């Protein structure tokens, strides 16, 4: 058998297996044919052609994706959510045309939209939709999808088609099992997995993901006249494409909606996700008359099904502590298949949500995916209660670190107060080292994550234990970088007290509040001992911030961290002098976005020149410094007759 004959034979069997789902030979026999072709091409590399099945395997490493300008815009669709809206679309369409209309109802595949381009019958470019006008060239990755023909069955001069790349449930389940085996984070849903896979720079990785595609539209064609959408799909099938299934021609809009309902009933039996059904005008000439808006065609709408809801048993409620310290209750469920994935956990949001819906451990509940992504409990099937269900109460201490939890009045969230809580330690350390806090140059989020992964630090106090030899061996660090970072850490010990107060991460205490507190109390120890009444009487603090400060310093965990910082020699005294100058005795309020400086910079200029910064406008306010998009504070200033100044006027006052 010649190399050309072997190539044709493999392409024939690939089409039967991947496109028509009607294989004639076993996987073993197919693999044997592929192995023979690889050997023949290795011996005769000059005979390798672009459409050879061996070109699908992947292995090219790209440095990035080139931009592709779509000559025909890849438009999105207007969404509708009920029968009346679908019928209204049909009525308006027929009025606009002044004649009867045939419709096509299709599955709306939940994947990633792509363009495939062919010249003289050969696939030469594939790209993502992007913003509809400009996408990314992902040709090499698309070649790994088996049912994208590299050579068409007929040599069309030029063809561009649009399709939806997706990941079948079977491929998705296998991928997530592999992710878990490797200790890596599983994908949330098949669509995210497909989109992430198609944008891999290594095409061999894409080949392993076993993506699939349905082609659903002809964007451009030369050498063939097509008059209807249905005719176009049939022609694409003849060329070798796997086209969108379930596409009957409907004589009326009522028939089109009946197809929507039929598709909705079969959703669970599909091996892929759909996020709706699309109703299209069948006649291409009628489409031309109807035209499009800037982003959407007027000849089609997308019907979105209500979220899929399933019944299951809620076995337990566990608390998850997020990186911001919020305690989130999560339901432990009997596993159920929902919107393409197996669900065994669902968010319960907060204790108010649980009480409002009267959710109890042991209840039969209805669950759905919010936005088809996040599982949540919708309601309780109370008629199935047995009397053995138990009421859930939020814990009084953090289940991760043991620190007390609190819930502010008017807030739904319950929070951990522990500064050293492992669940939020990465965020706390990143904040501690940030520019407005301890300003440790070279210790950004990526470095912090690397230190945590390598067990170099586990708390903010551990920053001051870091040695050059601990970090110079880490990837992309080196001795010079390590030395510079250790010097920056040492330098931070002498920072002003205001920076340390802000770095501690006390809820509601920003950089400006920290400066006010440092001036008012003079030392960190005096601030720790301050009463809620003393704090609330301090300018710009108030009752909410005062309560937050007192609660923070009540926690043994937080005091323990502070004592460690003291032992490392950090500055606990305020050495800043209250500024004197043109703003002495003047009170400013800042609002909006200033052209060249942020609020912290402006606030520092005010205090350096003897002024005070307040958070609210009153009759005692001397100036409101206003930038773009100033809101209610500007309105109040105008109503009270307070002087409003711009950044330029502010700078002129200083100079």
CA 607 to chain centre: 40
Residue 377 has phi, psi (to 5 degrees) of -85, 125
Cβ neighbours for 47, distance < 8 A, ≥ 6 positions apart: 3, 40, 41
213 Cβ neighbours under 8 A, 6+ residues apart: 111, 114, 145, 147, 148, 163, 164, 165, 166, 242
Q: Which of 38, 108, 230, 476 is catalytic?
A: 108
Percentage helix, strand, coil for the chain under 3-state DSSP, each rounded to 5: 40, 25, 40
Query: Could you give the 3-state DSSP secondary structure of residue 406?
Result: strand
Determine whether 242 is exposed, middle or buried from the number of CB atoms within 10 Å of its CB (0-12, 13-18, 19+): buried
List all residues 6 or more positions away from 609 whose beta carbon is below 8 Å from its beta carbon. Answer: 579, 580, 581, 582, 583, 584, 654
- The residues, ordered by sequence, that sit 6+ positions from 58 with a Cβ below 8 Å of its Cβ are 140, 141, 143, 144, 202, 203, 204, 205, 206, 207
105, 108, 113, 118: CA torsion to nearest 10? -40
> What is the C-alpha to C-alpha distance for residues 437 and 448, in angstroms, rounded to an integer?
15
Q: Based on the residue annotation, tell me whether 479 is a catalytic residue of this protein.
A: no
**CA–centroid distance for 218 within its chain:** 31
Q: In 3D, which of 493, 497, 491 has the Cα closest to residue 528?
A: 497
Which residue from 524, 558, 518, 525 is spatially nearest to 541, judged by alpha carbons? 518
Largest CA distance in the chain: 97
- CA torsion angle 92 96 100 103 (round to 10): -60
The catalytic site residues sit at 108
């Amino acid at each position: 058998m010649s190399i050309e004959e072997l190539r044709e034979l493999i392409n024939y069997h690939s089409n039967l297996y991947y496109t028509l789902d009607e294989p004639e030979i076993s996987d073993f026999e197919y693999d044997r044919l592929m192995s023979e072709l690889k050997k023949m091409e290795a011996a005769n590399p000059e005979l390798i052609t672009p459409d050879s099945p061996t070109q699908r395997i992947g292995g090219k490493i790209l440095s990035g994706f080139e931009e592709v300008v779509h000559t025909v815009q890849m438009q999105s669709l207007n969404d509708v959510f009920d029968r009346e809206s679908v019928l209204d679309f049909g009525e308006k369409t027929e009025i606009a045309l002044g004649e009867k209309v045939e419709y096509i109802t299709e599955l709306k595949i939940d994947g990633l939209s792509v363009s495939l381009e062919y010249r003289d019958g050969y696939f030469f470019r594939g790209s993502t939709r992007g913003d509809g006008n400009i996408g990314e060239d992902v040709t090499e990755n698309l070649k790994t999808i088996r049912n994208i023909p590299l050579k068409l069955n007929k040599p069309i001069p030029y063809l561009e088609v649009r399709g939806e790349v997706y990941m079948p449930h079977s491929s998705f389940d296998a991928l997530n099992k592999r992710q878990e085996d490797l200790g890596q984070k599983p994908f949330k849903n098949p669509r995210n997995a497909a989109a992430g896979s198609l944008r891999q720079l290594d095409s061999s990785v894409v080949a392993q993901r076993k993506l699939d595609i349905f082609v659903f539209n002809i964007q451009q064609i030369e050498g063939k006249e097509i008059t209807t959408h249905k005719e176009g799909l049939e022609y694409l099938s003849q060329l070798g494409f796997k086209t969108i299934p379930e596409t009957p021609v409907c004589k009326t809009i009522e028939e089109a909606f009946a197809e929507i309902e039929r598709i909705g009933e079969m959703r669970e039996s599909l091996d892929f996700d759909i996020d709706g059904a699309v109703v299209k005008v069948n006649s291409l000439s009628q489409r031309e008359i109807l035209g499009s808006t800037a982003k959407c065609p007027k000849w089609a709408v997308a019907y979105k099904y209500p979220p899929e809801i399933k019944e299951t048993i809620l076995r337990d409620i566990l608390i998850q502590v997020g990186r911001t310290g919020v305690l989130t209750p999560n339901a432990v469920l009997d596993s159920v298949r929902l919107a393409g994935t197996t669900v065994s956990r669902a968010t319960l949001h907060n204790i108010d949500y649980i009480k409002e819906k009267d959710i109890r451990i042991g209840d039969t509940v209805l669950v759905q995916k919010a936005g088809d992504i996040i599982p949540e409990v919708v309601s309780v099937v109370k008629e199935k209660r047995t009397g053995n269900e138990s009421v859930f109460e939020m814990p009084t201490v953090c289940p991760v670190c043991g620190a007390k939890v609190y819930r502010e009045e008017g807030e739904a969230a319950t929070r951990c107060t522990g500064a050293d809580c492992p669940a939020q330690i990465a965020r706390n350390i990143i904040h501690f080292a940030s520019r407005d806090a301890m300003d440790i140059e070279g210790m950004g989020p990526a470095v912090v994550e690397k230190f945590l992964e390598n067990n170099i630090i586990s708390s903010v106090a551990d920053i001051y234990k870091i040695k050059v030899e601990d970090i110079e061996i880490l990837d992309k660090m080196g001795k010079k970088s390590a030395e510079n970072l250790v010097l920056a850490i040492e330098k931070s010990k002498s920072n002003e007290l205001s920076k340390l107060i802000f770095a501690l991460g006390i809820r509601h205490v920003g950089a400006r509040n920290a400066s006010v507190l440092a001036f008012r109390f003079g030392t960190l120890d005096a601030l720790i001992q301050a009463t809620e009444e003393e704090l609330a009487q301090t300018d710009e603090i108030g009752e909410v911030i005062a309560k937050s400060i007192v609660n923070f310093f009540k926690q043994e965990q937080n005091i323990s961290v502070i004592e460690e910082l003291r032992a490392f020699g950090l500055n606990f005294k305020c050495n800043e002098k209250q500024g004197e100058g043109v703003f002495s005795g003047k009170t400013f309020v800042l609002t909006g976005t200033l052209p060249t400086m942020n609020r912290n910079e402006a606030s520092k200029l005010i205090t350096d020149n003897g002024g005070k910064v307040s958070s609210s406008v009153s009759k005692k306010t001397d100036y409101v410094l206003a930038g773009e998009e100033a809101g209610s504070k500007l309105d109040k200033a105008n109503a009270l007759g307070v002087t409003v100044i711009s950044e330029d006027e502010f700078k002129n006052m200083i100079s």
